[in-house]
Amino acid sequence: MKIHIKNGRLIDPRNEIDAIKDVFIAAGKIVSVGVAPESFLANRVLDATGLVVCPGLIDLSARLREPGLEYKATLISEMAAAVAGGVTSLVCPPDTDPPLDEPGLVEMLKYRAKSLNQARVYPLGALTQKLAGTELTEMAELHAAGCIAFSHADAPLDDTLVMLRAMAYAATFGFTVWLRPQDAALSRNGVAHDGEVATRLGLPSIPSCAETIALSTILQLARETGAKVHICRLSSLEGIEMVRAAKQQGMAVSCDVGIHHAHLSEMDIGFFDSNCHLIPPLRNLRDRDAIRAALKDGTVDAICSDHAPVDDDAKILPFAESEAGATGLELLLPLTLKWAGEMGVPLNQAIKKITADPARILGVANGHLGMGQSADICIFDPEAYWKVEPKALKSQGKNTPFLGVELQGKVRYTLVDGHLVYEAAY
Amino acid sequence: MPNNPQLNKNGELQHLLTIEGLSAEMLRHILDTAEPFVSVAEREVKKVPLLRGKAIFNLFFEPSTRTRTTFEIAAKRLSADVINLNIGASSQSKGETLLDTVDNLAAMQADMFIVRHAQSGAAHLIASHVAPHIHVVNAGDGRHAHPTQGLLDMFTIRKFKKEFHNLRVAIVGDVMHSRVARSQIHALTTLGVPEVRVIAPKTLLPAGVEHLGVHVYNDMAKGLKDVDVVIMLRLQNERMRGAMLPSAQEYFKYYGLTADKLAHAKSDAIVMHPGPMNRGVEIDSSVADGKQSVILPQVTFGIAVRMAVMSILAGS
Amino acid sequence: MQLPDAEMLLQELAQQIRPHLTANSALVGIHTGGAWLAQRLHRQLGLEIPLGVLDITFYRDDFSKEGLHPVVKPSAIPFAVEGRDLILVDDVLYTGRTVRAAMNELFDYGRPGSIHLAVLVDRGGRELPISARYVGAALALVENQNIQLEQDGQGRLSLALSN
């Protein structure tokens, strides 16, 4: 199918393009930027006047809830949510049920996802069997089955010897290890940041040192083993400073934050709003501001949605009993734009944080719109406002602290491999 | 932040969930309303017909005989019909959600729910969910709040000390896990007590407690010096098991209220305890039964204060 | 309209009540105006049994509509009600609901031998079968007019109208 994207503001951060340029697609690839190829007859012309044309978003964490957790959400609903949010590639953590510790499960997931012909799914393989933290998984086999890297999701990995060996084994094959720093004992039963708000509300809490102590362990073991490490979902000022120092020492480390943590703090819990029950917890304003600044200066490499659809029954509970998580695939773009607008970050830099930078972390070729690239494209209206309400979300998870809020930035078209997989109803 | 869920659109008290967010005026109104109910208790017929025909449901998800009984007595003295539900035993264990349980009971013509739950925020959740004509009283949610206890403690202080604006009040013990302490602190600071102190070992003080408006002490002699009101909190055995304290003996030696520690306070200081007491752990019997103790009046006042709260809510 | 002098009506009431007093008689005033009156009458009539006062807030029949009134004063009946000859005192008798509430409250203290009603002003407009044995003056008022008893700094009583 030949597609001509006309008159859009093309923002391709990696190739340093930010200009009104047409894009020409054929056989799923970008065949020309700016000038039409000879005798190009488009099957479809997309009028992108007033719209931004950018690489499809790459979300470093989105839970699809399959296999096993289909009552919360399904591949079908969440993949639809992804493309409605302009996300053309997403990374799925291994904490499905059963966890992604067997090649067969990974193959099935990839197959199912591919057959839906929507976004690309990059599964993370479980670092240990059953995510139990004791025995290694067949990482090489899992990689062959399609796992892009290995992670321990939110399951505790207490045994430092096991962590050391898992990293060393991964390093053998050059696999990256994704870890979220959280000391299990210090965070046991905690549901909110150990600070003023948790004290006032009487909520069991998790101190920042639960993150920094675990982070220190991860960084030192990474140095020891030479493993490439990606730190998931930083939440504290101190944690960010530790990563900054490690990078300055030349360590091969990258990190991300969840988009909600770039906007919200413990104050937003208000009267026990369980939509603000997140992992890691929303910390104080100082931490939030550090996250916002670290995204701007590049210490934090990428933003992800950390999409976690949760059914109503699991949210409409007393705060500490509610399930943690927020829906995010459809909010990643508008919330990134909101952060950028508030922080004075130019649009192309903002887009880089959800396209080229995640691509670099993943080590995949997409995330930019050079010649010959797969046509994974997001076309959005940066001015359009829309209200976050259940009927506006395609995800089965309606759990977001931004319910009722009007956000700016609406996806009009999404293409994956040159196919129009999403078109907004006007 | 959303509007105060405790007030209806006319600014009247619709639910009593926490002392936090209530004005000094509202707190004084409740205390003033409790006053005549004290004299009702001294009559032969201890009932008034105020809440006749109203159905008050005691929803105790966390067991408690004392608190439930005082609410029951208070409700009956208002001529209301009282239904007691020990939820732990029945539907919760069958997996019925909290709100389903509440919905079923509301369908039985409930006018008011008195709720005690092990989770902070449970009363707020229920209040945000029930129909507008149903009132919710928080009888204790997790570590968060126990507003009627806070109010009866204020009533007691006012009875014995007359004014708030010139007092030093010390709260001693497990502030970290105490909903009573949080409610007391909010009430004391709102009513204008100039110095509120907490005295405890560091393991029993929550992060940022000073932001609640209290002075922090780890030493009883310093903390009790020249204090007018001493409030002792109950220490639970779990604290020893959770590596927060080594033993009840060491706790009693350094933080238990004995006569010689009490001597650091003013000679006319009053001693309070929300109950039930652990004699020999947080308080010595000689002090608990001594002339400065107002622990028994607290209980009497508790019924009057709860009658006042229920009357004000039912009339809004 | 010209309002009668409350002090004179008070004297009138005292004269009406005096012949009917026994050793078993006790006065109970209804807050607030009735309590003022009862205090004055109690002194003037030289009663031995101490004065009782009632706040009828908890016995009102309009709780569901109006809610709890802001200021509730304690009721205090410092004598046994059982078998007593009570004279209930109020300032204005209108619908009769206040007196109904007061009687209900009195019966929660015990079973009186008798209750008779003394009012400074009877303005008619009864909605319940209540009548006063001792009346200072009967006044005709329109529906939206209110009459109340006031007391100045020196304790002097007077009547005032409001709309």
pLDDT, tens only, A379-402: 999 999 999 999 999 999 999 999
Chains touching C (at least 3 CB pairs under 8 A) are B
Asked if the Cβ–Cβ distance from C75 to B311 is below 8 Å, we say no
CA of A358, closest CA in chain B: separation in Å?
A: 34
The count of C-alpha atoms lying within 13 angstroms of the C-alpha of C17, restricted to the half-sphere facing its C-beta, is 32
Q: Which of B139, B149, B135, B122 is nearest to B54 (CA)?
A: B135
pLDDT for residue B89: 53
- Record: contact B208-A199, CB cut-off 8 A: yes
- Kindly state the tokens that stand for B218: 């780890």
Min Cα separation A320/chain B (Å): 7
Residues paired with B195 in a beta bridge: B168
For the beta sheet containing B55-60, the strands, ordered from the edge strand earlier in sequence to the opposite edge, are B81-86, B55-60, B112-117, B135-141
All residues of chain A having their beta carbon less than 8 Å from the beta carbon of residue B124 are 271-272
Query: Which stretch of B93-97, C4-8, C145-149 has the lowest confidence by average pLDDT?
Result: B93-97
Q: Which chains touch B (3 or more CB pairs under 8 A)?
A: A, C
**Residue A270 burial class via C-beta count within 10 angstroms: exposed 0-12, middle 13-18, buried 19 and up:** middle
Contact list, B50 vs chain C (CB under 8 Å): 58-59, 63, 68
Classify B156 as helix, strand or coil.
helix
Distance from CA of B231 to the nearest CA of A (A): 19
B5 at interface of A, judged by CB pairs closer than 8 A: yes
Chains A and B touch (3+ CB pairs under 8 A): yes
Summary mean pLDDT of chain A: 95
Smallest Cα distance from A268 to chain B, Å: 7
Which chain B residues touch C55 with a CB distance below 8 Å?
A: 36
Cβ contact, residue pair B122, A318, below 8 Å: yes
Chain B residue numbers touching A316 (CB-CB < 8 A): 97, 99, 125, 129
**Residues in chain B, pLDDT under 50:** 1
Q: Which of the residues of A are catalytic?
A: 306
Answer yes or no: do B206 and A272 touch at CB < 8 A: no
Chain A residues within an 8 Å CB radius of B97: 313, 316-317
Residues 6 or more apart from B282 whose CB is under 8 A from it?
A: B172, B173, B232, B233, B234, B235, B251, B252, B255, B256, B257, B273
In contact, B16 and B309? CB cutoff 8 Å: yes
- Contacting B with CB below 8 Å, chain C residues are 55, 57-59, 63-64, 66-68, 70-76, 104-105, 108-110
Q: Would you call A46 helix, strand, or coil by DSSP? A: strand
**Residue C75 is nearest to which of B33, B39, B47, comparing CB atoms?**
B39
Q: A318 and B97 in contact by Cβ < 8 A?
A: no
The whole-angstrom distance between B38's CA and the closest CA on chain C is 9
> Quick one: tokens of A242?
């530790």
Residues C110-135 have pLDDT tens digits of: 999 999 999 999 999 999 999 999 99
Taking contacts as CB-CB distances below 8 angstroms, the residues of chain B near C63 are 50, 314-315
The fraction of chain A above a pLDDT of 70, given in percent, is 99
Residue-by-residue DSSP string for A84-105: HTTEEEEEE-S-SSS-S-SHHH
Q: What pLDDT score was predicted for residue B90? A: 54
Q: Which residues in chain B have their CB less than 8 angstroms from residue C58's CB?
A: 36, 40, 48-50, 311
Q: How many Cβ contacts (< 8 angstroms) between chains B and C?
A: 50
Q: What is the pLDDT of residue B1?
A: 45
- Cα distances (angstroms) measured from residue A127 to each of A62, A66, A179: 18, 19, 10
Quote the CA–CA distance of C91 and C10 in Å, as a whole number.
10
Q: Which of B7, B45, B52 to mutate to test the interface with C (most CBs of C within 10 A)?
A: B45
- Measured in angstroms, the CA of B230 and the nearest CA of chain C are apart by 29
Chain B: closest CA distance from residue C104 (Å): 9
pTM, whole model, 2 decimals? 0.90
The shortest CB-CB distance from C63 to any of B36, B43, B50 is to: B50
Going by C-alpha positions, the residue among A196, A217, A304, A216 that lies closest to residue A259 is A304
Length in residues, chain B: 316
DSSP annotation of C75 reads P
Chain C contact set for B313 (CB, 8 A): none
Q: Please count the residue pairs, one from chain A and one from chain B, whose beta carbons lie less than 8 angstroms apart.
A: 73
Residue B130, pLDDT score = 92
Q: What is the predicted pLDDT for the residue at B91?
A: 54
Tell if the CB–CB gap between C71 and B32 is shorter than 8 Å.
Answer: yes
Instruction: State the Cα–Cα distance between residues B227 and C20, nearest whole angstrom.
Output: 58
Please give the ipTM for the structure prediction: 0.90
- Show Cβ contacts of residue A378 under 8 Å, excluding neighbours closer than 6 positions: A53, A54, A55, A56, A57, A86, A87, A88, A333, A411, A413, A414
Length of chain C: 163
Cα R_g (chain A), whole angstroms: 21
Question: In this structure, what DSSP letter does residue B16 have?
Answer: B
Taking 90 as the threshold, does the pLDDT of residue C27 lie above it?
yes
Whether A199 contacts chain B with CB within 8 A: yes
| DSSP result, C12-25 | HHHHHHGGG--TTE
Q: Which residue has the tokens 């407009």?
A: C125
State whether residue B273 is helix, strand or coil: coil
Chain C residues near residue B38 by CB distance under 8 angstroms: 74
B positions 11-50 inside 8 Å of C (CB): 12, 29, 32-33, 35-36, 38-40, 43-45, 47-50
Q: What is the mean pLDDT of residues A166-180?
A: 97
Encode pLDDT of B126-143 as tens digits: 999 999 899 999 999 999
CA nearest B77 in C: which residue? C58
Nearest residue, CB atoms, B207 vs list A194, A316, A320: A194
Chains C and A touch (3+ CB pairs under 8 A): no
Cβ C76–B39 below 8 Å, yes or no? yes
CB contact under 8 A, A319 and B182: no
Q: What is the mean pLDDT of residues C5-22?
A: 94
- DSSP secondary structure string for all residues of B171-224: EES--TT-HHHHHHHHHHHHTT-SEEEEE--GGGS-TTGGGGT-EEES-HHHHH
* Yes or no, beta carbons of B2 and A270 under 8 Å apart: yes
Residue B93 pLDDT = 53
Phi and psi at residue A318, to the nearest 5°: -55, 140
A52 in helix, strand or coil? Answer: strand
Which residues does chain C have within 8 Å of residue B47's beta carbon, measured at their own beta carbons? 108
Residue in the structure block whose two tokens are 């909600």: A260
The one-letter amino acid code at B305 reads: V
For B:102-141, CB contacts with A below 8 A are 117, 119-122, 124-125, 128-129, 141
Tell which of A200, A315, A317 to mutate to test the B interface (max B CBs under 10 Å). Answer: A200
* Predicted local distance difference test score (pLDDT) of residue B242: 81
